[in-house]
Amino acid sequence: MGEVTEVKRGHRVEFGRWSAYPSSRVQHHIDSLLMLPTRLPRVAVIALATLAIACGDLTSPKASSPNLELEYPVFALTGTQVGVTNAINFYVGPARVDAAFGFDVALDLDPTGKILVYPVRALAGPLAGTIPTRVGLQTVSGSFESVRTAPNAGYDTISVKTITPGTVMAVELIQQASLACVYSLTGSANYAKFVVDSVNLPERRLFVRHVIDANCGFRSLVPDSIPTF
């Protein structure tokens, strides 16, 4: 398996810096300036108009972080040794289920070998309302590579999902205690997808791939690319 790569939690958006043509909002601003009384020096009008064009369209935030794909193994939640990685944190990769709830989903195997996916709140029980991370799940059709966009609705934050190897799951992540996406103009959630490619039943070990879009509100899930939506 490849070396586990760590994904940072920073989520930033970057505004467009320059456009060869002004947007309709900027053009309206320029037209308004040109209709000012003639006592305003023409040089000042031209200077203000140039500044408006240079600033671009401030209503179009852009993603700045490329989507990353990680590949790694984790162990089942039950029937394995204490202290092994048995969960996923989509920002960093393999994680452990513990009282700090520093994971997003945990994986287990039922007696028939099917995979059980537990969102963090499903394991928190009565503490579910105190968990700062809301993790929503839903299965999506198609291969892992063919799923290029996360759905914008339909996520379940409580139910345990039963899947088989090759089933792709879309993930919605809302970090309610983090300020990273609070002021984002594109949305407060991050999106990801994951798949369990195979399972080693004797070792109760699952081999996982996932892609995360760490740009607030962007739903593109194409790895190694900067999202545009």
Once rounded to an integer, what is the mean pLDDT over residues 33-48? 46
What's the whole-model pTM score? Answer: 0.72
Once rounded to an integer, what is the mean pLDDT over residues 19-26? 47
Over residues 180-204, the pLDDT tens digits come to 776 677 778 999 999 999 999 999 9
Residue 27 or residue 218, greater confidence: 218
Residues 88 and 194: beta-carbon distance below 8 Å: yes
- Residue 130 is predicted with a pLDDT of 82
Q: Tokens standing for 106?
A: 């945990």
One-letter identity of residue 45: V
Tell me the chain's radius of gyration from C-alpha atoms. 23
**What is the overall mean pLDDT for the chain?**
80
Of 84, 89, 117, 121, the C-alpha closest to 102 is 89
With a cut of 50, say whether residue 152 has pLDDT above it.
yes
Over residues 68-92, the pLDDT tens digits come to 999 999 999 999 999 999 999 999 9
Over residues 96-127, the pLDDT tens digits come to 999 889 999 999 999 999 999 999 999 988 88
Residues facing 171 on adjacent strands: 137, 192
Q: What's the helix, strand, coil split of the chain in %, to 5?
A: 15, 30, 55
Q: What 3-state class would DSSP assign to 48?
A: helix
- Residue 229 is predicted with a pLDDT of 81
DSSP state of 120: H
- The torsion defined by the Cα of 209, 147, 116 and 119, in degrees rounded to 10, comes to 90
With a cut of 60, say whether residue 11 has pLDDT above it.
no
- Residue 28 is predicted with a pLDDT of 52
CA distances, 125 to each of 122, 131, 191 (Å): 6, 10, 24
With a cut of 80, say whether residue 164 has pLDDT above it.
yes
Angle formed by the axes of helices 42-55 and 24-34, nearest 10°: 170
Confidence of residue 6 (pLDDT cuts 50, 70, 90): very low
With a cut of 70, say whether residue 159 has pLDDT above it.
yes
CA distances, 85 to each of 30, 44, 57, 177 (Å): 58, 64, 46, 24
- Residue 55 is predicted with a pLDDT of 43
> Where does 141-215 show beta strands of DSSP type E?
161-163, 168-175, 190-200, 205-213
Q: Tokens standing for 39?
A: 């006592």
Residue 10 or residue 146, greater confidence: 146
- Residue 31 is predicted with a pLDDT of 53
Q: What percent of the chain has pLDDT over 90?
A: 58
- Residue 56 is predicted with a pLDDT of 45
Confidence of residue 33 (pLDDT cuts 50, 70, 90): very low
